[in-house]
């Protein structure tokens, strides 16, 4: 299944994208896509509801805004330097263990919402990433068990204000958590929709020019290893998001570095997970 949420910011409704591309309103299912939904076998119940009701459900017009496909996940966890070529362009050693950091969940927005440059920042960068959505609670799970805890996958642009992240001291979270810095979607694809998460092309363009063109085959740590590793340090709750890192081609890695400015247009996508587009604006 492909899950969407649509409507005005803060008032999104749940929906689905059918196999033929039709977008339907799933409000009659009676639940949003939140922690409780995933914890209570929501995907299986939603599939049953769709089988019986999709044909009669209201359609969602094509020009309707899409919101983030999840409602208020408890955590948005990121893995740093998880592509070999990205570590190389950053002049950083390939890590021996996954590098974990957080983005504030208040940074989450819809896939095509504007990117708002933060006050005091002048080095906002792009990072196309594959994000993993947790389907059931995971604590101290093994690598072999890890995929049983994955509900599906999302497209994520892990925007980063490098001046906050790298020049202001402290942890990376300051440069990762600005409002609008985590557009998710356009949809959540359930695990069965993605045959191999370790062989997906992901790309990103700025003003029509390709900047990132990579493949998840370049992962340092694959999805089951990342899920298992993170679960050794914290409980992963249903609906939590783990973003698995970005391939080479970020602005910070160029000579000289290139950063976003008002008026720029960022487009990105991943095989099987759709595409998104953000217009850069000043606050």
Q: What pLDDT, in 10s, does the model give residues 201-212?
A: 999 999 999 999
Domain total in the chain: 2
pLDDT of residue 171: 83
Clarify whether residues 125 and 168 are in a common domain.
yes
Query: What is d(CA 95, CA 43) in angstroms, rounded to the nearest whole number?
Result: 35
Domain hosting 272: range is 70-282
Out of 66, 97, 122, pick the residue that ends a domain: 66
Closest CA to 198 of 223, 230, 163, 164: 223
Clarify whether residues 255 and 162 are in a common domain.
yes
Residue 86 has pLDDT above 90, yes or no: no
Contact 38, 236 (CB under 8 A): no
**Distance between first and last Cα of the chain:** 36
CATH number at residue 272: 3.90.850.10
Clarify whether residues 87 and 155 are in a common domain.
yes
Q: Is the pTM of this model over 0.85?
A: yes
Residue 283 has pLDDT above 90, yes or no: no
pLDDT in tens, 229-268: 999 999 999 999 999 999 999 999 999 999 999 999 999 9
Closest CA to 180 of 4, 22, 9: 9
State which H helix or E strand residue 134 sits in.
strand 128-134
pLDDT in tens, 2-44: 999 999 999 999 999 999 999 999 999 999 999 999 999 999 9
Clarify whether residues 60 and 79 are in a common domain.
no
Clarify whether residues 96 and 196 are in a common domain.
yes
Clarify whether residues 125 and 141 are in a common domain.
yes
Out of 39, 66, 93, pick the residue that ends a domain: 66
């Amino acid at each position: 299944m492909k899950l969407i949420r649509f409507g005005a910011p803060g008032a999104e409704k749940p929906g689905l994208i059918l196999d033929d591309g039709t977008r339907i309103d799933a409000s009659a299912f009676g639940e949003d896509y939140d922690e409780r939904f995933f914890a209570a076998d929501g995907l299986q119940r939603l599939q049953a509801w769709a089988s019986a009701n999709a044909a009669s459900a209201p359609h969602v017009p094509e020009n309707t805004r899409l919101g983030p496909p999840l409602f208020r996940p408890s955590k948005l966890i990121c893995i740093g330097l998880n592509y070999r070529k990205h570590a190389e362009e950053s002049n950083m050693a390939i890590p021996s263990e996954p590098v974990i950091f957080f983005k504030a969940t208040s940074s989450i927005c819809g896939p095509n919402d504007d990117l708002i440059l933060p006050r005091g920042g002048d080095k906002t960068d792009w990072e196309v990433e594959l994000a993993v959505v947790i389907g059931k609670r995971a604590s101290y799970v093994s690598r072999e068990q890890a995929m049983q805890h994955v509900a599906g996958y999302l497209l994520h642009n892990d925007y980063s204000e490098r001046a906050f992240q790298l020049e202001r001291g402290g942890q990376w979270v300051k440069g990762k958590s600005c409002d609008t810095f985590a557009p998710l979607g356009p949809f959540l694809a359930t695990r069965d929709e993605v045959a191999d998460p370790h062989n997906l092309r992901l790309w990103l363009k700025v003003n029509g020019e390709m900047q990132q063109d990579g493949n998840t085959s370049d992962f340092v740590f694959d999805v089951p290893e990342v899920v298992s590793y993170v679960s050794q340090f914290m409980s992963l709750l249903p609906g939590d998001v783990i973003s698995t890192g970005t391939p080479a081609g970020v602005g910070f890695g160029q000579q000289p570095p290139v950063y976003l400015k008002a008026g720029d247009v960022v487009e990105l996508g991943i095989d099987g997970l759709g595409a998104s587009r953000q217009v850069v604006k000043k606050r």
